[in-house]
Amino acid sequence: MLVNESALGVNQFTLAGRLIKPPRVSKSPAGVPHLHATIEHRSMQTEAGLNRQCYARIQMVASGEWTQAWSKILTVDSAIKVTGFIQRHEDHNGMGKLVLHAQRIEQV
């Protein structure tokens, strides 16, 4: 199978859902603001011609000055659509998880 080398750099992810915890704000040692939130997604999807209930929960982080306004708007149960890229993060125990790094947030 041939692999298109330019396709290997594609990492774009969009998810709509609701915040299930209050968003948290932090700053990096360099002073970059970060907005942390947990998004829960529920929907009905079609797979192999059959309906399937989908459920996902993912951590989101948005970085930069643009996140300051969102930190004042978002609350538990806010409905949002997030577009960005996914990145593997490890917790202090070395357990890996995927985190959605937001490049765009929209209220829905």
Q: Please report whether residue 3 resides in a domain.
A: no
> Is residue 80 classed as helix, strand or coil in its secondary structure?
strand
Q: Please report whether residue 76 resides in a domain.
A: yes
pLDDT digits (tens, 9 = 90+) for 21-70: 999 999 999 999 999 999 999 999 999 999 999 999 999 999 999 999 99
- Percent of the chain predicted with pLDDT > 90: 89
In terms of residue numbers, what domain contains 93?
A: 18-107
Q: Please report whether residue 69 resides in a domain.
A: yes
Q: Please report whether residue 24 resides in a domain.
A: yes
CATH of residue 89's domain is 2.40.50.140
Number of structural domains the chain divides into: 1
Q: Please report whether residue 7 resides in a domain.
A: no
- DSSP class per residue in 44-62: EEEETTEEEEEEEEEEEEE
> Residue 73: is its pLDDT beyond 60?
yes
> Is residue 6 classed as helix, strand or coil in its secondary structure?
helix
Q: Please report whether residue 97 resides in a domain.
A: yes
Q: Please report whether residue 10 resides in a domain.
A: no
Taking the whole predicted model, whether its pTM rises above 0.75 is answered as yes
Q: Please report whether residue 84 resides in a domain.
A: yes
Alpha carbon of 64 to those of 30, 34, 37, 44: distances in Å? Answer: 11, 7, 15, 34
